Amino acid sequence: MNFYLLSLIKTVIVVGIFMHVLAYLQWIERKVIAHVQLRVGPRRVGPHGLLQPLADVIKLITKEDILPSHVNKVFYFLAPFVAVTFALISISIIPFGPEITVAGVRTNMGLTDLNIGVLFILGISGLGVYGVALAGWASNNKYALMGGLRSSAQMISYELPMALALAAPLLLLNTLSLREIANGQAGYYLGFIPRWSIFQMPFPQIFSFMLFLIAGFAETNRVPFDLPEAENELVAGFHVEYASMKFASFFMAEYANMVTVSAVATLLFLGGWHPIFPEQYGSGLVPVAIFAGSALLCFMHAASPARPFDKYTLPVFGVLFLGAAALFLLPPVKPILLPLFWFSAKVGIILFVFIWVRATLPRFRYDQLMRFAWTFMFPVSLVNLFLTALLVAVNS
Amino acid sequence: MDALLFLVFAAIAVICGINLVVQTHPISSALSLVGVMGALAALYLLLGGEFIAAAQLVVYAGAIMVLFVFVIMLLNAGTERKLAIRPWGKYLGAPLLLLFLGMMAYLIQRILPPSSPVVFGAFQGGTPAEIGRSLFTVYLLPFEVTSVLILIAILGAIVLARKEVD
């Protein structure tokens, strides 16, 4: 098939799914945090608040777009664009699964693959900070400026341990292309321990994984490193002067960065789309079991409804879950859905950790943040890289 | 396609470069420089220097320029004052510049040997593996000397930034 047409179709699919993931990630975050804090979270719009993201989008689009009189107009408009553009670009080189055949066309799951993929991710994430820094500066507001300054200093500091933590698994896998990195983690030790980087000999990369995740929290400005938008000190930090869709752009950029960090962690450390135990022990049936179990749960609760309308709503969800389970048994779609399931399961778990940490940990103080980066993260990641290099050299 | 992309990114680089000089505010100038760096990275990529392109993005556009912008924001540098241009500069400036550029172009053309034009995609040695191999074999000594130089610079920075302890 024509390369341009194929790329266009894949782009439309990936962008469409990505945008929905971003919107629903926010719903999941609100729900999870609510349940951690013994609340119920959004439930007014749609069943269990499932249409809340749609309502939020409509609200954000139709809000009055206030232009403060004292801002630097060019950079004030430029900043959200920069932030959201560099946050969304990274998805283009993330591979979601192996090579598949759809309707007679062989293609890779994922938009493209660069032989400098990891470096590209690092470069793009480094450029993303301009959005935040510019927003802080152009707002001409002391709180916003403080947020922008904090963000740029924080990003520069945490970029170093992040790059060092990324370099260690690359020594084991010997490539910079994300697709080859994922393929290099296929297979199992002793028939059941996956050869993911965090288990891979000669030096399991579990420390790199932790360091990368911590640095990822800082790079995406998430709690406990969300100093650039610390509400109780800076009102809202760098985006305090933004309203409507410009505010939503920053929001979207933050969630897109979260997804990117989780996807990169999955690909580099958790084996990408390779299942956690081999196919012959039935790893292909895991999604079926999960969805069928959910369906069963729905039907059980529908049989003894806690509220009157549960009798009608829960069977609908049960049938939907059963349909999803049946989809994973169909031979033509199974090779497409199975890698996608494992990939999104791993990304989803890391995203859940992001939300869980936000609900659990308090914020750092700024000097603690900096001291942590330079006196703990940096030396530890250097030692980790050195040990990995030593063991790889001795082993080969 | 390659030629078209080259023209686009070359134009971006030149426009950002001119903008860098014309702008009066330091932040605008710094961001124009980021534009130049980004366009240069794309040009390296077109020529097959993949690693150089990535390094350009990570190091220059991503780290050094962020530091520049950070310092400008921290010092809150204001708009620069325009100096009054003297009349002879106003009338002779542009012709002299053209004369200088013409002389340079002529001299470069005379001195350099006639070479085959650059072909996009002809250069293959730009992958990280190739660069690493040549750094650790052919250019080992310059590489190590540079590392020592950077180490000395880091030590100097620490000494300068250290608080005086009585």
pLDDT of residue B165: 62
Beta partners for residue A100, in sequence order: A107
Contacts of A116 in chain B (CB under 8 A): 50-51, 53-54, 127-128
pLDDT in tens, B49-73: 888 888 888 888 888 888 888 888 8
CA distance A369 to A218: 9
User: Virtual CA dihedral for A100, A104, A105, A110, nearest 10 degrees?
Assistant: -30
B57, A124: Cβ pair inside 8 Å? yes
Averages of pLDDT over runs of 10 residues in chain A (396 residues) are 82 89 89 90 81 87 82 84 88 84 76 83 84 83 83 84 88 84 81 79 83 88 77 75 83 88 89 81 81 87 78 83 84 81 90 90 85 89 90 84
CA distance B100 to B109: 14
pLDDT in tens, B27-44: 888 888 988 988 998 888
A155, B66: Cβ pair inside 8 Å? yes
* Buried residues in A101-140 as b, exposed as e (16+ CB within 10 A): eeeeeeeebbbeebbbbbbbbbbbbbbbbbbbbbbbbbbb
Residue B101 CB-density burial (10 A; 0-12 exposed, 13-18 middle, 19+ buried) = exposed
CA distance B17 to B58: 20
CA distance B81 to A383: 50
pLDDT of residue A369: 86
Contacts of A120 in chain B (CB under 8 A): 54, 57
pLDDT of residue B144: 92
Within 67-96 of B, beta carbons closer than 8 Å to A belong to 67, 69-70, 73-74
pLDDT of residue B151: 94
DSSP string for B15-78: HHHHHHHH--SHHHHHHHHHHHHHHHHHHHHHTT-HHHHHHIIIIIIIIIHHHHHHHHHHHT--
For chain A, the residues whose C-beta falls within 8 A of a C-beta of chain B are 74-75, 114-116, 119-120, 122-127, 129-130, 133-134, 136-137, 145, 148-149, 152-153, 155-156, 159, 163, 176
Strands A188-189 and A193-194: antiparallel
pLDDT of residue B102: 92
Match 């009157």 to its residue by tokens: A308
Nearest CA in chain B to A74: B28
- Average pLDDT (B158-166) is 76
CA distance B111 to B103: 12
The two most distant CA atoms of chain A are separated, in Å, by 67
Q: Of A321, A329, A336, whose CA–CA distance to A13 is shortest?
A: A336
Q: What single-letter DSSP state applies at residue A278?
A: -
CA distance A182 to A178: 6
Higher-confidence residue of B125 and A349: namely A349
DSSP string for B61-115: IIIIHHHHHHHHHHHT--PPPPPPPPHHHHHHHHHHHHHHHHHHHHHHHHHSPP-
Quickly state the pLDDT bin for B131 (edges 50, 70, 90). confident
CA distance A285 to B84: 78
Q: Please, what is the end-to-end C-alpha distance for chain A in angstroms?
A: 43
pLDDT of residue A349: 92
CA distance A236 to A224: 15
From the list B31, B34, B73, the residue facing A145 with the nearest CB is B73
Within 25-44 of B, beta carbons closer than 8 Å to A belong to 27-28, 31, 34, 38, 41
Complex-level ipTM beyond the 0.90 threshold: no
